[in-house]
Structure 1
Amino acid sequence: MEDSPVSLRRIARLFAPHRATLAVVVALIVLSSAVGLAQPFLVRHVIDDALPRQDVRLLLLLVGAMLGVAVATAVIGVVQTWLSTAVGQRVMHRLRSDLFAHLQRQSLGFFTRTRGGDVQSRLVNDIGGMQGVVTQTATSIAANLTVVVGTAVAMVALSWRLALLSLVVVPPAVLLTRQVARMRHRVTGERQRRLADLHVQIEEGLSVSGVLLTKTLGAAPRLTERFEETSADLVGLEIRSRLAGRWRMATMNVVFAAVPAVIYLAAGFPATSGGMTIGTLVAFIALQGGLFRPLMGLLNVGVDLTASMALFSRIFEYADLPVDIEEPATPTRLTRAGARGEVRFEGVGFSYDDGRPVLADIDLHVPAGATLALVGETGSGKSTLASLVPRLHDVTEGRVSIDGVDVRDLALTDLADLVGVVTQETYLMRASVRENLRHARPDATDAEIEQACRDARIHDLVAGLPDGYDTVVGSRGHRFSGGEQQRLAVARTLLRDPAVLVLDEATSALDNRTERALLATLDDLSRTRTTITIAHRLSTVRNADRIAVLHHGRVVESGTHEELLLLGGRYADLVRGGLDAQPAAA
């Protein structure tokens, strides 16, 4: 894109690890071009020497050499294509993998601001659109440039007068190509943006949640109409991209095709022929015909490369995104085996990118093995405060620590081992129950998986399915009810055995009986871990060691259930107002 230019030097750096292979490819290209240039000269000797003198031996020798040239160029071409394609695909693989890894490091805020379809489009469509350029451009430039230079030299050697006549069309062709390239660049950028819109509409309209919403709202006709409009725009942009400058290039092809006629005419005049033989003329025409094809190829590569800059720009725009939550340069090691799980919030404040304060002056201490419950109205900052422990966000003031170590000083992998999170919105992959659980801990045994499910009160249900733990979960877990999904999510987290467990409305979809059974299990498990619970149900929070009441991002009350009731403040108001019956909303 014009507002995000990309330098050719940066693109060239993508190929730096493959310099040796590229050097071999270039050498093969030069060798193939040099061998191929012998063909017109062999033809000249056949016409001027072997045929007029009826020299069969020379004729056989020349014809054999011509066949040898054809075989040699074919073999070299296959090897060169194999090497260049391998290099291009490795570059594509590295670029795609690095971009995916970089996006994985982005904070939760990036994904809440960005459309998922746009991310997918850049990873798949934009990188896929570059494939031809990355795989073929470097070798195409080298091959065509070598042929053009070698052919031009050979033409001058045969007849410098006719060579000047042939090459006079090159400057206007170059200027014309630059205009076409600029046109293609603009169209390509717009096409990729509309393709991203199409991906977004597919993701939002054809996911399980999207289809459910569409059917209940009767919005299918509107979504279909919107999809058709975007698809129609893509048709027009694709046609414009293909036809950009096509009439101008077609005109140049006509001019190039007319050049041989002019050469024949010039060869007929003594002033311009220079006394050339028939063989020389035939060889020159062959060289001239072989010149314009690589010359046009070279110019077209320039068009494709300029157009692809729009794709590189979109990809590097994401690759250059700053990482909000960075790995510490020298992380402090805190392993699960050595962690007690003591959590402290010290002068914590948090604001989003727009500067809007969400939390301020939070001071809380959760001893190892204790339970902290966070309550308050919707929007009071409970989920945001809990999200600071696993570093889904970073504090803007103060610090959050585990066993005295600032979470920002811990390696992200160590922090993930220490802190387990179960949210109200569970996410299950379209895989078996066993694979979904093992995603949390790949080395978990079947026995450990089943024990985690027993602790989460879901084992009997899973074991009773026709395929048991090998039952495939539907898209986003829709094969199971909301409560069953939550219990699977709890089992998945318990399988990791974290030192700190964050439960953000983790039992909101459970019936009272199942919730009581699960809470009893969690109470038992909490003796060996620290638990931070967010809930709107009184049954979930009343047994907590400490309850913190948040209001407008501040802790306004703190104590046990009985202490806060006796205080008669906001917590008592929440209980009287129906804390037990409020809907589960974070």
Structure 2
Amino acid sequence: MTMNEFEVDDLSYDHLAAKHVSLRRVLGLFKAYAGRLALVLVLILLSSVAGIAAPFLLRSIIDNALPTGNLNLLMLLAGGLIVLACFGTVLGVLQVLITSKVGQSIMHDLRVKVYVHLQRLSLSFFATTGTGEVQSRIASDIGGLQALVTHTASQLARNISVVLMTMIAMLALEWRLALFSFIVLPIAIWISHRVGELREKLTYEQQSRIADMASTVQESMSISGIILTRTMGRTDHLKRRFIRTSEGVAELEVRTHTVGQWQWGIIDVLLQALPALTLLCGGFLMSEGVTAVTIGTLVAMIALQEQLLWPLEEVLESAVHIKTTRALFARIFEYLDRTVELQEISDPVVLDHTKIRGDVRLGKVFFSYDNTLAPAINGISIDIPAGSHTAIVGATGSGKTTLGYLLARLYDVDSGSVSYDNIDVRELSFQSLTEILGVVTQEPYLFNATIADNLRFASLTATDEELIAAAKVAQIHEMIITLPDGYQTMVGERGYRFSGGEKQRLALARTILRKPRVLLLDEATSALDPATERAMSHALTTLAKQCTTITIAHRLSTVRHADQIVVMDKGHVVERGTHEELLALKGVYANLARSIQ
């Protein structure tokens, strides 16, 4: 991988950062903790005052106590230095305790905010964004801010306070030597700003490459990825691909930490040479007869310079660090600024679960995944009475699954309406919709937890008896009890300890446990053998008496007893009726039936 592949698009990044990041927005993260941060500032000011008092005590020791042999004064001044040291230490410990707590609270708030926001985005976001990329922004990017919110911000405030107090003290001690010392400041500030700009863009690119690496690991190290890699004999290919990605990350890591080192060296030379130059300047002033400049004054000035230089250097380094963290804020805020397409209205309709009938209606529904593409759903109207069984069938790409997405409000229609009990789904509260509709998909997702935990994801308070009842309806109970650990058996990542049919039945049992008034089955029996499918169909027939059932299917054996069958083709409803009526038409449904026999 060449360096050119990692060159940052300056204009693209500058636009992104300007759009999403502002000082006001970053400071807004600290707003909830203003009281504790104000206390930290008070501690910082007290610590700074204690720090600048020490050189004045030192000057008195050198110019007054030592030359006159006044031991009482010497003991008093020395004791003062010790007290100041103890006082500063206590203040420093309190600062660390408070800022660490506040910093971790801010990190927690930001992680939760991003996670909750992502949960509200529509499927289109997740369809185009890799899981590794999402994980990287939550873990790596927010983690990269930890030093800023727990250490850098408080240290910056502390060091700025020390720098300002020390500069005032230097002016009070001897203004000519002080002004001479300040000559290096404009040069150092300009250089640090320039280095910060260089590292900021590299940090953004570096985090993008880390996200790519996380996506590669997440995809290739999953069970599906391992199976595919080994059966395709592509292990070496993926190894080389990972090596290239890792080399790119390492290369950017080196550049991020080394860019501007020569410029930073200039700052080091200037700061280290300053005491020697100050002694030279002081000696010149003393030779000119300037009585205000004494040996004690020079020693105190050098002490103040030492007290100025290390916090000044840390201020400059903190400024560079803050510039680089702007790249992390850009990546995080970019996610937070993504439009939430699926919004709950301000005063949504909340239905009483016990009074929901289960009527479903689609009225002249149009929907397209992209305005430049042909509609996936084109003017469909379907009435599904409560307690009935409606099947949606059609060839691949006819729009069946998209229709299921709209029923579940995973997308919103472009025009028309989807309603339950004559209430538009967009007017329902999210909670009411989830109580109405239960969904089982063709590729059910199971957590790497026990069977019982996976089932209780639908109802956290479900009893063991309720789990067993739902599993029996889904024709999976008998299989579960043959396992050594029964319902406490771990299912493995994505349920890979079980067959496709077993996973589908577990997912069905999980949905049944919620007792939905409308049950949407999207190819939910596609992985079942004929005998299990017949048993499942019988169970669903019993279940259908308690709820409205909508079955999206390709295998017609699962829908032949439906009250109505809706046939789709290229986003349109082309036929509807019972199994026998549609066969008699000798149209699309009849052709579909013949093609899959």
* One of 198, 204, 208 as aligned partner of 1:189: 204
1:316 aligns with 2:328: no
CA pair 530-261 structure 1, distance change in 2 beyond 3 A: same
AA matched with 1:154: A
AA matched with 2:266: T
1:453 aligns with 2:474: no
1:573 shift after superposition: 1.1
AA matched with 1:336: H
* One of 563, 569, 574 as aligned partner of 1:545: 563
List aligned pairs for 1:49-198, cutoff 5 A: 49-198=64-213
1:336 aligns with 2:348: no
Deviations 1:249-278 (A, max 9, x none): 122112211111111222222356733222
* One of 438, 443, 449 as aligned partner of 1:425: 443
1:3 aligns with 2:15: yes
Determine the C-alpha separation between the residues in 2 that align with 1:383 and 1:90.
42
Q: Is the 8 A contact 1:332 1:409 kept in 2?
A: yes
AA matched with 1:178: H
Q: SS where residue 122 of structure 1 aligns?
A: helix
Deviations 1:203-253 (A, max 9, x none): 111011111111111111111111111111111111111112112112211
Deviations 1:418-458 (A, max 9, x none): 10000110110001111111111111111111111111111
Q: In structure 2, what is the equivalent of residue 404 of structure 1?
A: 422
AA matched with 1:143: R
List aligned pairs for 1:378-389, cutoff 5 A: 378-389=396-407
Q: SS where residue 391 of structure 1 aligns?
A: coil
1:314 shift after superposition: 0.6
Q: In structure 2, what is the equivalent of residue 494 of structure 1?
A: 512
AA matched with 2:345: P
Moved more, 361-370 or 136-145: 136-145
Q: In structure 2, what is the equivalent of residue 351 of structure 1?
A: 368
Q: In structure 2, what is the equivalent of residue 556 of structure 1?
A: 574
AA matched with 1:473: V
1:16 aligns with 2:31: yes
1:304 aligns with 2:321: yes
CA pair 101-272 structure 1, distance change in 2 beyond 3 A: farther
1:63 shift after superposition: 1.5
1:256 aligns with 2:255: no
Q: In structure 2, what is the equivalent of residue 485 of structure 1?
A: 503
1:534 aligns with 2:534: no
Determine the C-alpha separation between the residues in 1 that align with 2:282 and 2:357.
94
Q: Is the 8 A contact 1:266 1:273 kept in 2?
A: no
* One of 260, 268, 274 as aligned partner of 2:290: 274
CA pair 272-316 structure 1, distance change in 2 beyond 3 A: farther
Q: Is the 8 A contact 1:161 1:272 kept in 2?
A: no
Determine the C-alpha separation between the residues in 2 that align with 1:338 and 1:50.
92
1:413 shift after superposition: 1.4
**What TM-score, normalized by structure 2, do the two folds share?**
0.95
1:519 aligns with 2:537: yes
Determine the C-alpha separation between the residues in 1 that align with 2:287 and 2:67.
26
Q: SS where residue 355 of structure 2 aligns?
A: coil
Determine the C-alpha separation between the residues in 2 that align with 1:185 and 1:559.
63
Deviations 1:437-496 (A, max 9, x none): 111111111111111111111112112211111111110100111111111000000000
Q: SS where residue 506 of structure 1 aligns?
A: coil
1:98 shift after superposition: 0.6
Q: SS where residue 465 of structure 2 aligns?
A: helix
Q: In structure 1, what is the equivalent of residue 6 of structure 2?
A: none
AA matched with 2:202: V
* One of 291, 307, 314 as aligned partner of 1:290: 307
Determine the C-alpha separation between the residues in 2 that align with 1:335 and 1:167.
73
Q: Is the 8 A contact 1:145 1:298 kept in 2?
A: yes
Determine the C-alpha separation between the residues in 1 that align with 2:278 and 2:130.
59
Determine the C-alpha separation between the residues in 1 that align with 2:274 and 2:381.
84
Determine the C-alpha separation between the residues in 2 that align with 1:483 and 1:273.
98
Q: SS where residue 531 of structure 1 aligns?
A: strand
Deviations 1:515-536 (A, max 9, x none): 1111101110001100110112
Deviations 1:343-379 (A, max 9, x none): 0111111111244211112111111010011111000
Determine the C-alpha separation between the residues in 2 that align with 1:274 and 1:217.
86
Moved more, 203-212 or 269-278: 269-278
1:134 shift after superposition: 2.1
1:102 shift after superposition: 0.3
Deviations 1:103-162 (A, max 9, x none): 000011110011111111111111111111122333222211111111111111111111
AA matched with 1:263: T
Moved more, 79-88 or 340-349: 79-88
Determine the C-alpha separation between the residues in 1 that align with 2:443 and 2:289.
83
Q: SS where residue 364 of structure 1 aligns?
A: strand
Deviations 1:150-209 (A, max 9, x none): 111111111111111111111111111111011011110110110110011011110111
What residue ranges of structure 1 are gaps of 5+ in the alignment? 581-586
Q: SS where residue 334 of structure 1 aligns?
A: coil
Q: In structure 1, what is the equivalent of residue 523 of structure 2?
A: 505
Q: SS where residue 416 of structure 2 aligns?
A: strand
Determine the C-alpha separation between the residues in 2 that align with 1:272 and 1:365.
103
1:56 shift after superposition: 2.0
Moved more, 223-232 or 52-61: 52-61
AA matched with 1:476: R
Determine the C-alpha separation between the residues in 2 that align with 1:342 and 1:157.
84
Determine the C-alpha separation between the residues in 1 that align with 2:353 and 2:243.
53
1:216 aligns with 2:234: no
Determine the C-alpha separation between the residues in 1 that align with 2:283 and 2:424.
89
**What TM-score, normalized by structure 1, do the two folds share?**
0.97
The number of aligned residues is: 579
Q: SS where residue 360 of structure 1 aligns?
A: strand
Moved more, 255-264 or 274-283: 274-283
Q: In structure 2, what is the equivalent of residue 584 of structure 1?
A: none
Q: In structure 2, what is the equivalent of residue 393 of structure 1?
A: 411
1:570 shift after superposition: 1.1
1:46 aligns with 2:46: no
1:201 aligns with 2:201: no
Determine the C-alpha separation between the residues in 2 that align with 1:21 and 1:208.
47
Determine the C-alpha separation between the residues in 2 that align with 1:79 and 1:337.
56
* One of 318, 326, 332 as aligned partner of 2:343: 326
1:549 shift after superposition: 0.5
CA pair 272-414 structure 1, distance change in 2 beyond 3 A: farther
* One of 416, 438, 460 as aligned partner of 2:434: 416
Determine the C-alpha separation between the residues in 1 that align with 2:290 and 2:323.
42
AA matched with 1:363: S
Determine the C-alpha separation between the residues in 2 that align with 1:414 and 1:366.
19
Determine the C-alpha separation between the residues in 1 that align with 2:334 and 2:158.
31
Determine the C-alpha separation between the residues in 2 that align with 1:522 and 1:272.
105
Determine the C-alpha separation between the residues in 2 that align with 1:273 and 1:300.
40
Q: Percent identity?
A: 49
What residue ranges of structure 2 are gaps of 5+ in the alignment? 1-12
Determine the C-alpha separation between the residues in 2 that align with 1:555 and 1:472.
43
Q: SS where residue 398 of structure 2 aligns?
A: coil
Q: In structure 2, what is the equivalent of residue 229 of structure 1?
A: 244
CA pair 460-179 structure 1, distance change in 2 beyond 3 A: same
Q: SS where residue 395 of structure 2 aligns?
A: coil
Q: Is the 8 A contact 1:371 1:533 kept in 2?
A: yes
Q: SS where residue 251 of structure 1 aligns?
A: helix
